[in-house]
Structure 1
Amino acid sequence: MRTPGIFICGLVLAPCGLILDLTSTVAPSWRTIHNIAGVSTDEVMQQGLWDICKTFTSTRDIQCNQQDTQYFSNQIIKIAQGLMLASLILNVIAIGVASLGVRCWTDTPNWTVAGIGGILIFISGVLAIIPVAWYTHIMTSISSPSTDIRVGYCLVLGFIGGILEVIGGLVMSIGLCRCCGDQSTRDPSPLRRVTAPSVSSSSSSVPYYYSKDTNVDFPSAKRPPDIRPVNTAYTTRPFDSDL
């Protein structure tokens, strides 16, 4: 049996979203700060959830592990760290559950288990979108050495990864609706008592049982060809032409 398309879609989108959210979590570029007073004009500060780096546009040098206790003490940073980690862990668990439900090595998938995996993938996507959207909303209000604040690429990757997980989870959760109407879970049709056609002139018949799915068509016997005997005896007087 082929793997259903909804499961293929979910198992493709979920790992893609996991990779994007992982990059968004560990990379130090949730926002970039330009035109910092008292430093070189080509210096750009990149701030993430776990690290802060300084880059220079003229030399392309990067200096990470910068200390900024005021930035990391913001409430949004602590909440974003916890939610992003929870999203990554839940996504890994969800992919494992969904893979067990799909069961590509068997004839039929387990729609219930695959649907539960889809719901977990959906929740992981929501957990990733919440901190990204919240950080974007209050980005300019977080303490900063300059007013020239721009969106970092990590926010973009976080949005895309969360949306991919949400879509993949919604598609896979359709399996829960499919398992409710599975034909294999219905009770078999009851047996009915019928009378077989009699092969003799007597009125007695032999009862037997069959279900609705039983084929009750009886092949009819072929009629033998109508062969008439040739009459070789002459009942009239022969004519001259017959001699």
Structure 2
Amino acid sequence: MPNRSAQEWIRLSMRTPGIFIFGLVMAPCGWVLDLTSTVAPNWRTIHNVPNRPADEVVQQGIWDICLAATTTTRTVCGQDDTTYFDNEIIPVAQGLMVASLIVTLIGLAVAIPGVRCWRDRPNWVVAGLGGLLIFLSGVMTIIPIAWYTHILTEVATVTPAADVRVGYCIILGYIGGIFEILGGFVMFIGICRCCGGKNRGEVPVEEVRSRFSHQKPPPRRVDVPSLNRARSSASSSVPYSKDSMDDDVSFPRAKSPAARSVNTSYSGRPYDADL
């Protein structure tokens, strides 16, 4: 794309660009999923724990540990396990997940003023920087999630690890991080001046001028004189006179039939019906 000073670009529509709509939808969805993954104590579950009931399940997160059962809905949290929380992955995951949530909010706060659709054109630089922050927040989510998944069975704990399974927080964290990465990357594309401005819904100013210059001029307006004629100025008790009515008529009047003559001096022979 040519330099901005050499060729000006303009948007013909105030509609929000599609890449910004995509990013502003994906980023909040990813933030909600990351928040659930951060606070929920289910990064992994331990089943079939020795010397424990068969239906008991240990749910371990990065902030808390809970005891649940497969036969009941009762869950007891606040379990102590210093060995588990002393693992290197736990403080790293805590810091990165919280930082990811904060950076996502900052990215949305920066991007929203740049994508306002009531302006002549969006602020592509500001919106692109917001997308970059959202992209980085997704990366900060994927790092601890992927690390924890890689060493899922190696994380030390006081509870004997009999049957270790992936918790739903890992799944939600992956989905939320991918949402933020995709949304932030798509919004960041707007800061790149590529594809001749077409990816941003803009057209060159010269093209707009030439388009309007080749249009046919509007038809010239012709003033038609009024057909109303001046009414008679003769004084009358009515607003018009017979003469003025005759003058205003633009079509021939039908002739009135002649009055029939009544012969009263009929001397013919009367008929029976006349009696």
Counterpart-to-counterpart distance in 2, 1:57 and 1:168: 37
Counterpart-to-counterpart distance in 2, 1:98 and 1:152: 33
Runs of 5+ in structure 2 lacking a partner?
1-13, 218-275
Aligned with residue 25 of structure 2, among 7, 12, 19:
12
Deviation at 1:178, TM superposition (A): 3.6
Runs of 5+ in structure 1 lacking a partner?
190-210, 220-243
Deviation at 1:106, TM superposition (A): 2.0
What's the TM-score once normalised by structure 1's chain length?
0.74
Aligned to 1:156: 171
What's the TM-score once normalised by structure 2's chain length?
0.66
Contact 1:120–1:169 under 8 Å retained in 2: yes
Counterpart-to-counterpart distance in 2, 1:180 and 1:86: 35
SS, match of residue 192 in structure 2 = helix
2:142 matched to 1:166? no
Deviation at 1:105, TM superposition (A): 3.0
Deviation at 1:180, TM superposition (A): 10
Deviation at 1:179, TM superposition (A): 8.4
Deviation at 1:146, TM superposition (A): 2.0
2:176 matched to 1:177? no
Contact 1:11–1:168 under 8 Å retained in 2: yes
Q: In the comparison of the two structures, how many residue pairs are matched? A: 196
Counterpart-to-counterpart distance in 2, 1:143 and 1:101: 47
Aligned with residue 60 of structure 1, among 65, 73, 77:
73
Give % identity.
61
Report Cα offsets for 1:130-170 as digits up to 9, x if no partner: 00000000010011422310000000000000000010011
Counterpart-to-counterpart distance in 1, 2:62 and 2:119: 43
2:105 matched to 1:92? yes
Aligned to 1:208: none
**Quick one: which amino acid aligns to residue 166 of structure 1?**
I
2:75 matched to 1:82? no
**Quick one: which amino acid aligns to residue 73 of structure 2?**
R
For the structure 1 residues 39 and 180, does the alpha-carbon distance in structure 2 shift closer, same or farther, using more than 3 Å as the test? Answer: same
Contact 2:26–2:179 under 8 Å retained in 1: yes
Contact 1:111–1:179 under 8 Å retained in 2: no
For the structure 1 residues 36 and 107, does the alpha-carbon distance in structure 2 shift closer, same or farther, using more than 3 Å as the test? Answer: same
Counterpart-to-counterpart distance in 2, 1:214 and 1:153: 58
Counterpart-to-counterpart distance in 1, 2:28 and 2:210: 46
- Root-mean-square deviation (CA), in Å? 2.6
Aligned to 1:48: 61
Aligned to 1:233: none
Between Structure 1 and Structure 2, whose CA radius of gyration is higher?
2
Contact 2:50–2:162 under 8 Å retained in 1: no
SS, match of residue 170 in structure 2 = helix
For the structure 1 residues 26 and 215, does the alpha-carbon distance in structure 2 shift closer, same or farther, using more than 3 Å as the test? Answer: closer
For the structure 1 residues 8 and 164, does the alpha-carbon distance in structure 2 shift closer, same or farther, using more than 3 Å as the test? Answer: same
Aligned to 2:49: 36
Report Cα offsets for 1:14-55 as digits up to 9, x if no partner: 000000000000000000001111111111000001000000
Contact 1:84–1:127 under 8 Å retained in 2: yes
Deviation at 1:58, TM superposition (A): 1.6
Aligned to 2:126: 113
Aligned with residue 38 of structure 2, among 6, 17, 25:
25
Deviation at 1:104, TM superposition (A): 2.6
Counterpart-to-counterpart distance in 1, 2:17 and 2:212: 30
Counterpart-to-counterpart distance in 2, 1:44 and 1:214: 72
Counterpart-to-counterpart distance in 1, 2:62 and 2:100: 15
**Quick one: which amino acid aligns to residue 55 of structure 1?**
A
Deviation at 1:215, TM superposition (A): 5.6
Counterpart-to-counterpart distance in 1, 2:112 and 2:141: 22
Contact 1:14–1:164 under 8 Å retained in 2: yes
2:124 matched to 1:124? no
Report Cα offsets for 1:117-141 as digits up to 9, x if no partner: 1111111000000000000000100
Aligned to 2:230: none
